[in-house]
Amino acid sequence: GNSVTQMEGPVTLSEEAFLTINCTYTATGYPSLFWYVQYPGEGLQLLLKATKADDKGSNKGFEATYRKETTSFHLEKGSVQVSDSAVYFCALTHQAGTALIFGKGTTLSVSS
Amino acid sequence: DAGVIQSPRHEVTEMGQEVTLRCKPISGHNSLFWYRQTMMRGLELLIYFNNNVPIDDSGMPEDRFSAKMPNASFSTLKIQPSEPRDSAVYFCASSPQDSGANVLTFGAGSRLTVL
């Protein structure tokens, strides 16, 4: 079946450090891939998405590239801020109107 | 737009009691999803609806859980009787069915504690 695997957290970084959160997936065909972010006490928010191979999603300095050959969608940011502290979820879906399948989430903690 | 509205935000109840969680999706969104989040299991899909019709309820843990969507602007998730292991944050999300990449908008969640 379809699944998403994320690196285990927590990830603890200093401000301005480089961030990578690994995500790999198992799916037939060509799913759409997403990163969602959850700030403390809030629901999940879409951070970025990519719908086909080699697409790069980007938002708020975060980037992720859809790699079909390695079935990966790693999240990166060149310089993290304290305000980026949150839980990050990788997810996939095959078509509109169907449910997202989420990874277990990776907690990021950034200190000043 | 007010976004996806969930109520209550917090509920504390005793084992055996009935719990009803409510969700108002974004107007015009015709897909609605219920997820449960726990530390141990992460984010699990319970059930989702398209145009008020349940499409996949395979994630509903057992018969104690039921969900309804009587109209396009309202859904409920009911647990009867509740048990301590049901303690979790329950999220409702909605999306336009024809959104292409299926972007979900989540509510703020209902935190349930069953004593």
pLDDT tens per residue, range B17-69:
999 999 999 999 989 999 999 988 889 999 999 999 999 898 898 899 999 99
> Are the Cβ atoms of B104 and A49 closer than 8 angstroms?
no
Before B25, cis peptide (omega within 30)? no
Residues of A in contact with B30 (CB under 8 A): 97
Cα A105 to Cα B6: distance, rounded to the nearest angstrom: 22
* pLDDT tier for residue B85 given thresholds of 50, 70 and 90: very high
B51 touches chain A (CB under 8 A): no
DSSP symbol at B33: E
Percent of chain B with pLDDT over 90: 75
Cα B112 to Cα B25: distance, rounded to the nearest angstrom: 20
pLDDT of residue A97: 60
Other Cβ atoms less than 10 A from the Cβ of B34: the count is 26
> Which of B104, B105, B111 to mutate: most A Cβ within 10 Å?
B104
Before B84, cis peptide (omega within 30)? no
pLDDT: which is higher, A29 or B83: B83
pLDDT of residue A7: 87
> Maximum CA pair distance of chain B?
42
**Summary mean pLDDT of chain B:** 92
> Are the Cβ atoms of B56 and A99 closer than 8 angstroms?
yes
Cα B115 to Cα A43: distance, rounded to the nearest angstrom: 24
* pLDDT tier for residue B99 given thresholds of 50, 70 and 90: low
Nearest CA in chain A to B52: A97
Nearest CA in chain B to A8: B42
Identify the segments of chain A with pLDDT beneath 70: 96-97
Cα B58 to Cα B80: distance, rounded to the nearest angstrom: 18
pLDDT of residue B20: 98
Instruction: Judge whether residue B114 has pLDDT over 90.
Output: yes
pLDDT of residue B2: 78
Cα B75 to Cα A15: distance, rounded to the nearest angstrom: 42
Nearest CA in chain B to A43: B108
pLDDT of residue B111: 96
In order of A76, A79, B7, B24, the CA distances from A63 in angstroms are: 5, 12, 34, 32
* pLDDT tier for residue B98 given thresholds of 50, 70 and 90: low
In order of B19, B76, B97, the CA distances from B14 in angstroms are: 10, 20, 37
* pLDDT tier for residue B101 given thresholds of 50, 70 and 90: low
Q: Where are the beta strands (DSSP E) in B9-87?
A: 10-13, 19-24, 31-38, 42-50, 53-56, 65-71, 74-79
How many angstroms separate the CA of residue B36 from the nearest CA in chain A?
11
Q: B6 with B91: CB under 8 angstroms?
A: yes
